[in-house]
């Protein structure tokens, strides 16, 4: 077995809104800075609005590498202003998510809406099905995800999710700590192509 | 504007486990009976295991119409025993979900695991993006979804989901009541092709 190289690229799922207080965009920018500090590139859903924009601009202005992946159909709605860094335009939503997942070594969910939740649960389902062996982190800013984490505990208690699958979600409220946990998890996993 | 016909087909997302107590499979069978009583056909993810199996078997044995849509890749894992009714095998997971959504007039989530959550949030995201105008119900058996509903309220309070989008989730703990609510919502919506 060859040793796995460290994490080189993280895919971040997050809101196309900034949220109702500034702590969310502060957290997004801090996460961006922590990625750049470690030489980890960012892949995300593209655009310059919401937390997606805050994060991408932070990585770009700190000299990091940013790749935004945008479906052709969403361009008018999600792209207000220029996406920092490089852009790939895909034919649809599914191709977008597939490309985001394939390019990343790990995933982080920040606060967001239905799209963010869908992306988080899709990548977690793909992990459960053995389609990839890449760690999944949740940056629990302000305890935003607490009720969701409680719900996930409930799915285990009620027999719908195994404790092993539940443990695939790595949670921290600090960006630096979360990245460190993901790096350790990544090196301990068997590589599997997405 | 022509009047919309009533709901003819419901897509149900639910666990491939039965859960830790019998109330879940009882609820799945009751839901199946209520669909048949109204002449509404079922489309689901196929197979005879878990709540998916309980539901499909109930519809089938009551003389209702069942269509299971199974991706080729999942056949060995999810199909233990025969799928009641008719089966369509798709090339992949994405094609499966697209076909399930296109054939249904409304959606219901029962308790389940990560796959169920992914399906629920995907169809809700597609609704938010205007890809369809079909109502989305949650059958809240035993309060299973309470922490998730609390989390959704939190996404609104924190500015990531609009109150209008939050209201797209129609919730009831009674199958008959839930179907009635979905039928009313369906007739009040503008039809939009998926
Ligand atoms: Mg999905």
Residues of A with CB under 8 A from a CB of B: 15, 17-21, 24, 74, 77, 94, 111-118, 121-122, 124-125, 128-129, 142, 144-145, 147-148, 150-151, 154-155, 157-161, 165
CB-CB contact of A94 with B94 (8 Å): yes
Q: Is A9 helix (H, G, I), strand (E, B) or coil?
A: strand
Cα–Cα dist A125/A123, whole Å = 5
* pLDDT tens figures, B10-65: 999 999 999 999 999 999 999 999 999 999 999 999 888 999 999 999 999 999 99
Of the candidates A87, A170, A90, A79, the one whose C-alpha atom is nearest the C-alpha of residue A124 is A170
Residues of B with CB under 8 A from a CB of A: 15, 17-21, 24, 74, 77, 94, 111-118, 121-122, 124-125, 128-129, 142, 144-145, 147-148, 150-151, 154-155, 157-161, 165
Task: Count the Cβ atoms, other than its own, within 10 Å of residue A104.
Answer: 25
Task: Domain A9-189: state its class.
Answer: alpha beta
Chosen from B129, B148, B158, B164 to mutate, greatest number of chain A CBs within 10 A? B158
* Min distance B45 CA to chain A CA atoms (Å): 15
Chosen from A15, A91, A113, A168 to mutate, greatest number of chain B CBs within 10 A? A113
* pLDDT tens figures, A84-123: 888 898 988 889 999 999 999 999 999 999 999 999 999 9
Instruction: State the virtual CA torsion across A125, A131, A132, A138 in degrees, nearest 10.
Output: -10
Q: Residue A160 to residues A92, A108, A165, A180, B136: CA-CA distances in angstroms?
A: 31, 24, 10, 30, 21
Q: Residue A174 to residues A137, A142, B142: CA-CA distances in angstroms?
A: 11, 10, 35
Specify burial of residue B22 (Cβ count, 10 A radius: 0-12, 13-18, 19+).
exposed
In terms of DSSP bridges, do strands A106-109 and A86-90 run parallel, antiparallel, or are they unpaired?
unpaired
Record: contact B116-A161, CB cut-off 8 A: no
pLDDT at A194: 53
Distance A179 CA to ligand 1 centre (A): 25
Record: contact B117-A116, CB cut-off 8 A: no
Record: contact A124-B118, CB cut-off 8 A: yes
Of the candidates A59, A49, A62, A61, the one whose C-alpha atom is nearest the C-alpha of residue A19 is A49
pLDDT band at B73 (very low <50, low <70, confident <90, very high): confident
Residues of chain B with pLDDT > 90, as a percent, come to 78
Residues of A in contact with B77 (CB under 8 A): 129
Distance A37 CA to ligand 1 centre (A): 32
* Min distance B142 CA to chain A CA atoms (Å): 10
Record: contact B117-A121, CB cut-off 8 A: yes
pLDDT at residue A180 greater than cutoff 70: yes
Instruction: State the virtual CA torsion across A158, A164, A165, A170 in degrees, nearest 10.
Output: 110
Classify residue A7 by its DSSP letter: P
Nearest CA in chain A to B129: A74
pTM of the model: 0.94
Nearest CA in chain A to B151: A147
Record: contact B144-A165, CB cut-off 8 A: no
* pLDDT tens figures, B84-101: 888 898 988 889 999 999
pLDDT at B166: 98
Cα–Cα dist B118/B162, whole Å = 20
Record: contact B114-A94, CB cut-off 8 A: no
pLDDT at B80: 52
Which pair of structure tokens corresponds to residue B93? 């997971």
Residues of A in contact with B71 (CB under 8 A): none
């Amino acid at each position: 077995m060859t040793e796995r190289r460290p994490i080189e690229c993280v895919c971040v799922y997050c809101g196309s809104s900034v949220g109702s207080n500034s702590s969310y965009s502060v957290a997004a920018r801090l996460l961006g800075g922590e990625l750049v500090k470690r030489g980890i590139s960012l892949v995300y859903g593209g655009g310059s609005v919401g937390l997606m924009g805050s994060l991408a601009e932070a990585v770009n202005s700190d000299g990091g590498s940013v790749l935004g992946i945008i479906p052709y159909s969403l361009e008018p709605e999600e792209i207000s202003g220029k996406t920092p860094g490089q852009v790939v335009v895909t034919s649809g939503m599914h191709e977008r998510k597939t490309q985001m997942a394939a390019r990343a070594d790990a995933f982080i969910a920040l606060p967001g809406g239905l799209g963010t939740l869908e992306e988080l649960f899709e990548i977690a389902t793909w992990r459960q099905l053995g389609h990839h062996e890449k760690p999944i982190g949740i940056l629990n800013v302000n305890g935003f995800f607490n009720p969701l984490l409680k719900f996930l505990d409930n799915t285990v208690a009620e027999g719908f999710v195994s404790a092993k699958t539940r443990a695939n979600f790595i949670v921290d409220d600090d960006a630096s700590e979360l990245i460190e946990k993901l790096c350790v998890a990544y090196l301990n996993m068997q590589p599997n192509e997405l």
